Amino acid sequence: EVQLLESGGGLVQPGGSLRLSCVASGFTFSNYWMSWVRQAPGKGLEWVANIRQDETEKYYVDSVKGRFTISRDNSMNSLYLQMDSLRVEDTAVYYCVRGARDSRYAFFDYWGQGTPVTVSS
Amino acid sequence: DIVMTQSPDSLAVSLGERATINCKSSQSLFYSSNNANYLTWYQQKPGHPPKVLIYWASTRESGVPDRFSGSGSGTDFTLTISSLQAEDVAVYYCQQYYSIPLTFGGGTRVEI
């Protein structure tokens, strides 16, 4: 059974940092593109970033470029999102998701339960 | 960026009746080299992450009931629930995977 388990969310002040983690199981993690998708309270879905299997390609939505960094450790079956210079508008539930295609152009066939991030003073 | 616009924002449908959700993209999602539309539909129930229903605009994900169907091409797409069941109460999202950034529609809430 495919499982994605996020952790690392919490309350942080504007300008602060957080590192989200996602541990994958039930599939060969190193074979898949992975992404982070977020959902602000009561709002819709927003793709944040994705990463190729070997980390040679990474893509970001404009609103987080230069502030967030996606990475992975295939030996640990883990995906990460380093979030710096956090803003109030980054408040959301962050989902770790698996790409359903071997491409940066993918939909998402498995989702974690999400980890909440609140940016507030 | 490709903008995805869903309509309506919400709809109320009687049990057993048809529900139709529309999704319009700001540019074509059809890729002629593989004759495919890069469009997916998700269902999200309260307190749960989204679940993929349809991909390539009309291919039903394994395990999804056949009352769910997707249609359309280019810039205009539709998700149809042919006979609404109580368990179909949810928010439905379309998503394009034709270009980066990957983008979602704003969602359509379906109620009884």
pLDDT given for residue A68 in this prediction: 98
Classify the phi-psi angles of B107: left when phi > 0, otherwise alpha if psi is within -120 to 50, otherwise beta.
left
pLDDT tens string B20-68: 999 999 999 999 999 999 999 999 999 999 999 999 999 999 999 999 9
Residues counted in chain B: 112
Sign of CA dihedral B47, A59, A90, A75: positive
pLDDT tens string A11-31: 999 999 999 999 999 999 999
Q: What is the mean pLDDT of chain B?
A: 97
Which amino acid does the sequence have at B27? Answer: Q
pLDDT tens sequence for chain A (121 residues): 999 999 999 999 999 999 999 999 999 999 999 999 999 999 999 999 999 999 999 999 999 999 999 999 999 999 999 999 999 999 999 999 999 988 898 999 999 999 999 999 9
Give the integer Cα–Cα distance in Å for A53 and B85: 39
pLDDT tens string A99-108: 998 889 899 9
Q: Does the beta carbon of B60 lie under 8 angstroms from any beta carbon of chain A?
A: no
The residue in chain A having the minimum alpha-carbon distance to the alpha carbon of residue B46 is: A42
Spell out which residues of chain B touch residue A106, defining contact as CB-CB under 8 Å.
97, 102
The reply to whether residue B49 touches residue A114, judged by beta carbons under 8 angstroms, is yes
Q: What is the DSSP pairing of strand A115-119 with strand A10-12?
A: parallel
